[in-house]
Structure 1
Amino acid sequence: MIRPMVNRDSAYFWEGTQKGELRVQSCNACGALRHPPGPACPECGGLDRGYVVAAGEGEVFSYVVHRHPPVPGKELPIVIALIDLDEGVRMVGEVHGVQPEEIEIGRRLRVDWHRVDDDLTLPVWRPVEEDS
């Protein structure tokens, strides 16, 4: 499996996934949220960063179904979506629990966790089941 790069800008995110928290970087100067994380706020240029814990729900803004080439450690096809989080930022993630023909723009998703090993937990997304 290809492991994500962890650096000083993203360490808080991966520490959160270990705890079952979906963390989004925030600017302590102006409050702007952003993902992916970075060293300086794109809104105000502030360097004082923090994070908020997102509710972990959003909807599909766009998606792809990856059918080829093979990806180490993954079974194809893989559904990958760009998710509009309810907090107002977008995040790319793998969608589990749907067939490629079932994914659609606007579909509600909720974060779930895939524990790879003691050092890595990945956020994955699953459909929000509608009440019957």
Structure 2
Amino acid sequence: MSEYKKPLPKPDPITAPFWESVKAHAMKIQRCNDTGKFFFYPRGLSPFTLSDNVSWEPVSGRGVVHAFTIVYQNRDPAFAEEVPYVVAIVELEEGARLMSTLVDVEPDPEHVRIGMPVEVVYDDVTEEITLPHFRPVRAD
């Protein structure tokens, strides 16, 4: 594993279960136990009820592109070599939305579309941190 030079998340007590699940290549996100709805980003209270009756539940890692942008310029030297790249909001099958990058797809509006089925892939960037990215679902 080469030295990773980009900014990395710093797990805290609230976000640690998410990062641990991603490290295990088995993504979990929070669910409000009062409503049954999944939500993301990690937090101590349900955004639906403001209750702390929440749990970490496994998710499929499959969803669709809800929105996207193609980054053509990035002045941060850590990212400059990778342009262009696709940043997307992915709506998981479970209903929660999260932001990530799309991989294994040409960063061109001809190849990325709203509603495109995607699946999570795990990028073990350091021994401590794994990042979730998404790729188009392969037609097997």
Task: Give TM-score scaled by structure 1 length.
Answer: 0.91
Q: 2:67 & 2:56 partners in 1: Cα distance? A: 25
Q: Deviations over 1:74-99 (max 9, x none)?
A: 31112111111000111111100011
- How many residue pairs match? The answer is 131
Q: 1:7 & 1:25 partners in 2: Cα distance? A: 15
Q: Which amino acid aligns with 2:39?
A: R
Q: Report % sequence identity.
A: 27
Per-residue deviation, 1:19:
0.4
Please identify, of 42-51 and 61-70, the stretch whose mean Cα deviation from structure 2 is larger. 42-51
Q: Which residue of 2 aligns with 1:124?
A: 133
On the 8 A contact 1:32/1:41 being kept in 2, the answer is: no
On the 8 A contact 2:90/2:97 being kept in 1, the answer is: yes
Please identify, of 52-61 and 37-46, the stretch whose mean Cα deviation from structure 2 is larger. 37-46
Q: Which amino acid aligns with 1:59?
A: V
Q: 1:44 & 1:56 partners in 2: Cα distance? A: 25
Q: Deviations over 1:9-56 (max 9, x none)?
A: 211000001100111111344433210111111222211331111101
- The one of 31, 48, 67 equivalent to 1:43 is 48
Which one has a larger percent strand, Structure 1 or Structure 2?
A: 1
- The one of 33, 44, 60 equivalent to 2:38 is 33
Q: 1:82 & 1:108 partners in 2: Cα distance? A: 12
Q: 2:57 & 2:119 partners in 1: Cα distance? A: 17
**Structure 1 moving runs of 4+ over 4 Å:** none
On the 8 A contact 1:33/1:89 being kept in 2, the answer is: yes
* Residue 116 of structure 2 corresponds to residue 111 of structure 1: no
Q: Structure 1: any 5+ residue segments left out of the alignment?
A: none
* Residue 23 of structure 2 corresponds to residue 18 of structure 1: yes
Q: Deviations over 1:79-129 (max 9, x none)?
A: 111111000111111100011121111111000010101101000111102
The two structures, once aligned, show a CA RMSD in angstroms of 1.5
SS of the counterpart of 1:117? coil
Q: Structure 2: any 5+ residue segments left out of the alignment?
A: 1-5
Q: Which residue of 2 aligns with 1:96?
A: 103
